[in-house]
Structure 1
């Protein structure tokens, strides 16, 4: 029987080997690491605007399909839940993380392609357009396709999105462990790896706790509105939670989510409409993870995250992750452009973000899909089980 070596074990192995080898790597090997990281980092910069365009434009276009009132309510509650999750994560991480880490640990570490040695090769890959241009274009095209009902353009962007998803699945994700290996080799060389690994442990535990706090908030609201026990409702949705842990995909978990959401007593017509929609637009668990990791990385570099700068990031994040692909790390890939343009993350910080995120991606996905059951009940309560148009 063939044993599958999943992404998480590969990430863990990459970190361990990076720490070990980076401690005594000769210069020629350091230059090999630097060359790979420089090329891969350039490719990430090139692909990010295409990811934004490929995800958001068809995602917005498809929101135009369906019932008016039900669609509007479902979209509102999904976005509201995502924003609340981001604010919760910011408040918790800025309160807890400074007590467990030394601020400015990474302040003396350069970009990975320059820290250990000079790269053997410099390969420029300028993006076709910038991140903000991609966002504006995606909104413009997405809204235009939704309002005109253009089947040809929707079909084109569906295929374009499939190409981007393949690129992520078969190029970026397989190469990420090597990139993370180089980053941690660099950190081991710079003497900051111990503090960073301790941050991983603290952030991981904090994020899991925040996920469950968010689920309790969602099901308390759903239970109060529908006069049902929130703990019974949460227990009913547990098969969806554990299925998502295994699949790491909201889309793959839809059948189980629908089945369990029906058992909560929500109207079947509402559930059948809302759950597939929430699978692409409701990402409260992923938002908690991204915001918490971002705050942690900012603290490592000596920055003090301010709510005034993080809130716009959270608001944009709730939109940018729409229709994130059903592959591990899809949400953080969609968020890279915002991390760079709004929070000023460099390639080292981006690599840390990716490593932190992928270490618990399945837990974020599980929180997303489990929360879909609560939101379906809330939408059902406000529509009285009818598909209003």
Structure 2
């Protein structure tokens, strides 16, 4: 979600309206661990399904990776990375990963929990001044999207400022100040609402308790220990090369523009990071299996709570969508999906160079659905969102 504004991983979108009662999280059953063998015939079906989604949703380029022990591996690219040069998409290109950044920020927080430097039930006012309900909102509630704070990226003025000057550099304080101008949406713990403000606050907690800037802490304590060699938390609009160009209609005019060089600082701890396909393949497994955390802390992370999104639960900075554990990401010009299916030890990563919704659905969700209908029909990935009023 981010370089962006808001949602279940998305910039200016929000989760579908809640049903009368929260839908239950679909946990794996004893018989649904199947993940099909990636035979040539299955690969041909995947090729066709991916190309059909690209054509229908008008996606310029895509990277897709699937793997599971004993089932084989599928790693392919489709389409173009640059509309001007028509350079093909390829697996060594850097891409912005939006809200997948949240999984890194919360991992850093949980490492500090394991070190005894913070407590999940600490209130945020211990670390950041001026937070509405700050003496009642816990770090746990921030990580599980239950703080009740207003999402700064849903602010009309913010949307206008961002799209009129997308190269502007934002500070974390400027972002939370936007949120704090608004009344809270609900009392702490009362509801689930996906909110970028929560992650900016947790980024500030990591900086204070970790004793160094967030980008440095992540590099030394999360990125390097995870074995990631092509993942960065940028402090400006710089984009490592080679990279794919991104295309969005989240613009001042509503027309499609190249957003490659937009400054992602507005997403900061909620969505500013950049990575490559191979690193995200590794990260999906590290994240879901808890390699960097104690078993006790990982268990708390994966203790998902039902959300208004049918079939989806949210833990501490992580989704469980019909058994697939991980996160999606969207920000102007880019989308990503980084998930792991424990019952099959299967990894799925999708990276796209557009965030333009198709019939109100994130393109990453369309790819996730199409792929999982083939490879894990008992665990079909689906994370619907609808456009917010401003879009």
Asked if Structure 1 and Structure 2 have the same fold, meaning a TM-score greater than 0.5 normalized by the shorter chain, the answer is no
* Structure richer in helix, relative to its length: 1
Instruction: Using structure 1 for the length normalisation, give the TM-score.
Output: 0.26
Instruction: Using structure 2 for the length normalisation, give the TM-score.
Output: 0.26
Is the radius of gyration larger for structure 1 or structure 2?
Answer: 1
* Structure richer in strand, relative to its length: 2
